[in-house]
Amino acid sequence: MSKYEKQSIKKYDELAANYDNTFDGKFTAKFKVKILELCEVADGERVLDVGCGNGSLIFAISQKADIEAYGIDISPKMIDECKAQYEGINFEVTNGERLPFEDESLDNVIICCSLHHLDNPLQFIAEAKRVLKQGGTLIIGEPWFPIGIKQFCDWILFPLMKSGDNKTFTHKRLKRIISDGGFDISKVHKKGSIQIVTAKRL
């Protein structure tokens, strides 16, 4: 297990019971509102939220249509919270770098503020490509910081805090890894610290 995985499990297990009132819960709230707006789902579709936290986003998405909803997270306590709160959604403790789904079996994959926690984000992109149907949608929400703040967070703050955060993404790099991973970018939303890219699997 990588140091980011170990640190994330420790941190989010501790935050799980009161997540919405923590800094992370409040910081991610605006991302989730925007992703909910951008995420188009139809009856019968299969939708996965990777790094789903306490499950509030995938639950909200599941209210938009009669979908088969899935949430995975590396933190067992987060998944306990999901299961206690929401019925009818399939939650599982899993690493987002190895998605427990068959090839071309999902219509939508969402990842909100969790990509920069992964040891190998490119592995997640490859997995999202593998499990999505052709034309399926990937939505990635990630924090964006001006370069000085980004460098401070990536190289000083995150290692000091042992928070499970790997490197954050510049806008250019986020778009490049998505395109290079076999996706066609269809929408880009960027406002303040929020960057959200919607892409179709080629």
Interface with ligand SAM by CB under 6 A: which residues? 5, 8, 12, 24, 28, 31-32, 51-53, 57, 73-75, 78, 95-96, 112-114, 117-118, 164
User: Which is closer to ligand SAM, CB of 7 or CB of 201?
Assistant: 7
Q: How far is the CB of 12 from ligand SAM (least distance, A)?
A: 4
Closer by beta carbon to ligand SAM, 95 or else 178 = 95
Q: Which residues partner with 200 through β-bridges?
A: 137, 184
CB neighbour list of residue 172: distance below 8 Å, 6 or more residues apart: none
- Toward ligand SAM, which CB reaches closer, 164 or 181? 164
C-alpha torsion 75→189→191→31, nearest 10? -30
Unique residue bearing structure tokens 């066609």? 184
Task: State the Cα–Cα distance between residues 95 and 113, nearest whole angstrom.
Answer: 15
Of 69 and 184, CB closest to ligand SAM: 69
Report in angstroms how near the CB of residue 123 gets to ligand SAM at its nearest: 10
Taking the complex as a whole, the smallest distance from the CB of residue 196 to ligand SAM amounts, in Å, to 12
CB of 161 to ligand SAM, least distance (A): 13
The CA distance from 115 to 121, in Å, is: 6
CA-nearest of 34, 27, 66, 32 to 49 is: 32
Do 35 and 112 meet the contact criterion of CB atoms below 8 Å apart? yes
Provide the pairing of β-strand 46-50 with 68-73: parallel
Closer CB to ligand SAM, residue 32 or residue 201?
Answer: 32
Beta carbon of residue 113, minimum distance to ligand SAM (angstroms, whole number): 4
Tell me how far, at minimum, the Cβ of 47 lies from ligand SAM, in Å: 14
Nearer residue to ligand SAM within complex by CB, 41 or 48: 48
Query: Could you write out the DSSP letters of every residue in 111-137?
Result: EES-GGGSS-HHHHHHHHHHHEEEEEE
Residue sitting closest to ligand SAM (CB): 53
